[in-house]
Amino acid sequence: MRAVSVSVAAALCSIVSGKSDGFVDHLKHFFSDDDNLAVSGSAVDDDKCVYDWSSLSCTPEASCSLQYQFGDVTPSQACRVSDTSNATKVPQQLHLAFAGREAGTGMAISWTTFKLDSEPTVWLGRTEAKLKVVADATIETKSYYKDDDYELYSYHAVVSGLKANTKYFYKVGNAKNKHYRSGVSSFTTARAAGDESSFIVAVYGDMGADDNSVATNKYVNSLVDEVDFVYHLGDISYADNAFLTA
Asked if residue 238 has pLDDT above 70, the reply is: no
Average pLDDT along the chain: 78
Q: What average pLDDT does this structure show over 163-179?
A: 95
Asked if residue 163 has pLDDT above 60, the reply is: yes
Asked if residue 156 has pLDDT above 80, the reply is: yes
Instruction: Count Cα neighbours of 212 within 13 Å in the Cβ-side half-sphere.
Output: 8
Helix (H, G, I), strand (E, B) or coil at 214: helix
Asked if residue 50 has pLDDT above 70, the reply is: yes
User: Given pLDDT bands bounded at 50, 70 and 90, which one contains residue 4?
Assistant: very low
- Residue 51 pairs in a beta bridge with 58
Name residue 180's amino acid.
Y
Backbone phi, psi, residue 214, to 5°: -65, -45
Asked if residue 135 has pLDDT above 70, the reply is: yes
Asked if residue 20 has pLDDT above 70, the reply is: no
Output the pLDDT for position 125. 97
- Residue 165 pairs in a beta bridge with none
**Higher-pLDDT residue of 2, 60:** 60
Output the pLDDT for position 25. 38
List of long-range contacts for 163-167, beta carbons under 8 Å, 24+ apart: 163/104, 163/105, 163/189, 164/103, 164/104, 164/105, 164/189, 164/190, 164/191, 164/192, 164/195, 165/104, 165/189, 165/190, 165/191, 165/192, 165/195, 166/104, 166/126, 167/126
Q: DSSP assignment of 159-207, as one string? A: E-SPPTT-EEEEEEEESS-GGGBPPPEEEEPPPPTT------EEEE---
Output the pLDDT for position 33. 41
Asked if residue 95 has pLDDT above 50, the reply is: yes
Asked if residue 188 has pLDDT above 50, the reply is: yes
Output the pLDDT for position 192. 96
Asked if residue 39 has pLDDT above 70, the reply is: no
Q: Judge contact between 59 and 39, C-beta under 8 A.
A: no
Q: Domain extents for the chain?
A: 46-85, 88-195, 198-245
Asked if residue 123 has pLDDT above 60, the reply is: yes
Q: What average pLDDT does this structure show over 54-70?
A: 85
CATH 2.60.40.380 fits domain 88-195: yes
**Separation between Cα atoms, residue 159 and residue 147, nearest integer Å:** 32
Report the relative pairing of strands 229-232 and 201-204 from DSSP bridges: parallel
Q: How far, rounded to the nearest angstrom, does the alpha carbon of residue 176 sit from its chain's CA centroid?
A: 22
pTM of the model: 0.65
Q: What average pLDDT does this structure show over 186-193?
A: 95
Output the pLDDT for position 16. 33
Q: Is-cis flag, bond preceding 91, omega within 30? A: no
Asked if residue 205 has pLDDT above 60, the reply is: yes
Asked if residue 172 has pLDDT above 70, the reply is: yes
Output the pLDDT for position 236. 67
**Separation between Cα atoms, residue 38 and residue 34, nearest integer Å:** 11
Asked if residue 223 has pLDDT above 60, the reply is: yes
User: Given pLDDT bands bounded at 50, 70 and 90, which one contains residue 148?
Assistant: confident
